[in-house]
Amino acid sequence: MEKTEDIDFSVDIEDRVKRADNHVIIGLDSVVHYFTFQHGVILKDSLTRLATKLMDGRKPRFKVAFITNLSWAISSQTLEVQKVINETKTLLHEEFSDEDGDSQNISSLLTTSKRTDSNPIIVIALFAYKAKSDEIEVIGAGLGTFKNKVGGYVAYLATKEDVYSKSKYGKSADTESFLGRGIAKFVLSMFQFVTYWRSYKSCKHIFLHCNKDKVPLFQHYGFVEADMTDKKQWPSSVKTLHASVGISNSDVRLFDHHAMTIDVAIHGSLDKTIRLSLSASSQPSAPPGGPSKKSTKAAMIMDREITADRRIPRMRNEKTSTAVAAALAMLSAQASASVG
């Protein structure tokens, strides 16, 4: 069976993101595997299921783009990242109206390669390859910036209002909506991981503004409302940060946007919590000092217990897996995934 870098389970995403010139694109299967085992991230089954979908050549249908410096990525010659940037623009234009001047700001942020400010613009995009062409579609995206020792600021966050359809994605598509699978929360948390790593672990805070009707949604993710007049809760450096991505103080006041912030992990734990060793065919990274003698096929060695964040209350019917169960399901699905 052909093994591509995209379905390499041993990929160390922290290392790849830290070393990236301007972007890294990784199959969703590797991303789910890495964050489940290394950071105790627990995703809904409806999201991890997308990670098992393969195309011809057993390449992942769903991928995640971690754009660590948009201005540089815009000038990149890589076709795949160009498509991601264009399709992120399409998604954000669909989901944000022009009333607040958002369309123009989104276009400007996603097309201007020359920027005068020093804060890098970050984009996290979950995207999928369509079945009958080389075209992609961005399903979920977050766009924002960060500054060392200040934090990350999310200017735009959206999930595509559409279903995972067989006509677009082939016979193995589940025909369910992309909404409500935890995609926005996943994108937000990837944004936080990237700002944390790229700021030499000096940024845990994520700040954002939203309409009043979205306050409960972000509270559901663990955010709290901040008083923008209190410099302890909303420092002047945050105002400079959001101004750098075209969100001005006067607009915030004009549209009565609410300020929200979080300073703990949105998903799982920001630092690595467990290390896994598998002697199965997935060729995992060996623990320091070489592979354990005790490891047998599909046996797991956990150095520490999962310390998944338990602050966020779960809905009663939420279909989540435990970290280990989800990843094991991924592994077995990987072995039997149907191409489509």
Ligand X SMILES: CC(C)(COP(=O)(O)OP(=O)(O)OC[C@H]1O[C@@H](n2cnc3c(N)ncnc32)[C@H](O)[C@@H]1OP(=O)(O)O)[C@@H](O)C(=O)NCCC(=O)NCCS
Contacts to ligand X by CB under 6 A = 95, 156-159, 179-185, 210, 214, 216-217, 220, 315, 318
Residue 76, token pair as written in the block:
């990149």
Distant-in-sequence, close-in-space partners of 1: CB < 8 Å, separation ≥ 6 = 58
Q: How many CB atoms lie within 10 A of CB 273?
A: 21
Q: Which of 22, 15, 20 is nearest to 38 (CA)?
A: 15
Residue 233, token pair as written in the block:
């809760």
Residue 235, token pair as written in the block:
């420092």
Strand bridging mode 206-210 / 121-129:
unpaired
Minimum Å distance from CB 309 to ligand X? 14
Minimum Å distance from CB 277 to ligand X? 31
66 phi, psi to nearest 5 deg: -105, 95
Minimum Å distance from CB 312 to ligand X? 8
Q: Which is nearer to ligand X, 231 or 253 (CB)?
A: 253
Q: Which is nearer to ligand X, 62 or 156 (CB)?
A: 156
Q: Which is nearer to ligand X, 12 or 162 (CB)?
A: 162
Q: Which is nearer to ligand X, 61 or 181 (CB)?
A: 181
Q: Which is nearer to ligand X, 219 or 233 (CB)?
A: 219
Minimum Å distance from CB 108 to ligand X? 17
- Please identify the residue of the shown chain whose CB is closest to the bound ligand X: 216
Tell the residue number behind the tokens 């995403």, with chain if given: 13
Minimum Å distance from CB 214 to ligand X? 5
Residue 19, token pair as written in the block:
């070393």
Query: Angle at Cα 289 formed by Cα 283 and Cα 294, nearest 5°?
Result: 65
Q: Which is nearer to ligand X, 55 or 228 (CB)?
A: 228
Minimum Å distance from CB 310 to ligand X? 14
Q: Is the dihedral of CA 82, 337, 4, 303 positive or negative?
A: positive
